[in-house]
Homo-oligomer: A and B are copies of this chain.
Amino acid sequence: MKKHNFSAGPCILPQEVFEEASQGILDFQNSGLSILEISHRSEAFVSVIEEARSLALQLLGLENKGYSALFLHGGASTQFLMTAYNFLNKKAGYLNTGTWSSKAIKEAKLFGEVVEVGSSKDKNFNYIPKDYKIPSGLDYLHCTSNNTIYGTQIKDFPNIDAPLFCDMSSDIFSREMDFSKFDLIYAGAQKNMGPAGTTLVVIKNDLIKKVEREVPSMLNYKVHLEKDSMFNTPAVYAVYVSLLTLRWIKNNGGIKAMEQNNNAKADLLYKEIDRNPLFKGFAAPEDRSPMNVTFNLTDESRKEAFDELWKNAGINGLNGHRSVGGYRASMYNALRLESVEVLVSCMQKLEEQN
């Protein structure tokens, strides 16, 4: 039986994507070759990566606006270091909204001064800092749009003079936004975009002019831009499955439709958390993420009973991250409303048991 997969990432992808992705391993486009054995310099693969690059920009509304998309190696964690290696010449600002922001800050400190413009560490990152001051003279301001572990999401991004960088690993392609506010966006593929093993970077072409340091080739955005994201062998299969997922987003109404579905799922679950006396939400209500819903039992002694209920219902991946405890329901684009309905009915059954 197919599971209801609430994993935080790697995570559920559309069933159609799994099917096409499986077929491509046996025979890619009737070529008599597996997608795993074709040259990355073949016409077939070059057209895969080019379509993926342009579709990513198109879905974000950034086509013909001076941006480029790259599919790089190394996960979002490599972007923590690449952003700083390339662009932290003197001083950068970081908004600290959780584990991932903190890790980005740690890497950046190797390259220059880091100003933590705001932090929600005082309350175990259960909210998004607001009304923080942004000093002048920053090389860039870095933020994390969605905090996968804590279930918070930035709703309003600051208007600043400095370039704005954003780690969108866990909510890219999930909600409409003016993406042209950002100068650099990155996201590990393994949430809304594809499987683990490739990272999307969307970068304003002009930004490259700001690089002062001598940067090793594999960490150098300019090198990857000049080589059309093919400086070395890309993660062929991860890029291919990302393309299939991007096509699925486009064919299913684009980001606008994704956002509507995501909001419907989030409304359903947050309403139940608020209504049901056995559960309480972790994140501050105004900062709640539709992607990762973090919640706890009001009475820990019911844990065994609840765990049995959801496991028997075919739910997977609901355990919370150790930094928060309790439960985390990750509801990325490909998760269906009916999976959330199953979860909500487990929560209601627990209530009935008492």
Interface residues of A (CB under 8 A from B): 1-3, 5, 7-13, 18-19, 21-23, 25-26, 31-34, 36-40, 73-78, 80-81, 85, 103, 106-107, 110, 188, 190, 195-198, 214, 216-219, 231-238, 241, 314, 316-317
Q: Are B26 and A18 in contact (CB under 8 A)?
A: yes
What residues of chain B lie closer than 8 Å to A76, measured between beta carbons?
A: 232
What residues of chain B lie closer than 8 Å to A80, measured between beta carbons?
A: 217-218
Q: Are B196 and A236 in contact (CB under 8 A)?
A: yes
Give the residue name and chain of the B residue nearest to A194 (CB). Answer: B36
Q: Are A81 and B36 in contact (CB under 8 A)?
A: no
Cβ distance A42 to chain B, nearest Cβ, rounded Å: 8
What residues of chain B lie closer than 8 Å to A75, measured between beta carbons?
A: 73, 218, 232-233
Query: With A233-B190, A235-B196, A238-B235 in contact, do A39 and B10 touch (Cβ < 8 Å)?
Result: yes
What residues of chain B lie closer than 8 Å to A22, measured between beta carbons?
A: 22-23, 25-26
A-B CB contact pairs (8 Å), 22 listed: A5-B33, A7-B38, A9-B233, A10-B38, A10-B39, A11-B37, A12-B37, A13-B36, A13-B37, A18-B26, A18-B37, A25-B25, A36-B195, A73-B75, A77-B231, A78-B218, A80-B218, A81-B218, A103-B217, A107-B217, A188-B233, A196-B233
What residues of chain B lie closer than 8 Å to A40, measured between beta carbons?
A: 10, 196
Q: A198 to B75, alpha carbons, bound, how many Å?
A: 12
Cβ distance A338 to chain B, nearest Cβ, rounded Å: 15
What residues of chain B lie closer than 8 Å to A314, measured between beta carbons?
A: 32
What residues of chain B lie closer than 8 Å to A234, measured between beta carbons?
A: 196
- Known A18-B26, A18-B36, A22-B23; 7 more pairs at CB < 8 Å: A18-B34, A22-B22, A75-B232, A76-B232, A103-B217, A190-B236, A196-B233
Q: Are A232 and B25 in contact (CB under 8 A)?
A: no
Query: With A3-B33, A196-B235, A236-B197 in contact, do A106 and B10 touch (Cβ < 8 Å)?
Result: no
Of all A-B residue pairs in the complex, the 3 with the closest CB atoms, nearest first, are A197-B235, A22-B25, A77-B232
Q: A7 to B241, alpha carbons, bound, how many Å?
A: 22
Q: A131 to B33, alpha carbons, bound, how many Å?
A: 43
What residues of chain B lie closer than 8 Å to A231, measured between beta carbons?
A: 77
What residues of chain B lie closer than 8 Å to A198, measured between beta carbons?
A: 197
- With beta carbons under 8 angstroms apart, the residue of B12, B110, B237 that contacts A196 is B237
Q: Are B216 and A81 in contact (CB under 8 A)?
A: yes
Give the residue name and chain of the B residue nearest to A45 (CB). Answer: B10
Cβ distance A302 to chain B, nearest Cβ, rounded Å: 24
What residues of chain B lie closer than 8 Å to A26, measured between beta carbons?
A: 18-19, 22
Give the residue name and chain of the B residue nearest to A35 (CB). Answer: B195
- With beta carbons under 8 angstroms apart, the residue of B25, B37, B110, B238 that contacts A5 is B37
Give the residue name and chain of the B residue nearest to A330 (CB). Answer: B39
Give the residue name and chain of the B residue nearest to A21 (CB). Answer: B25
Q: A26 to B186, alpha carbons, bound, how many Å?
A: 28
What residues of chain B lie closer than 8 Å to A78, measured between beta carbons?
A: 73-74, 218, 232
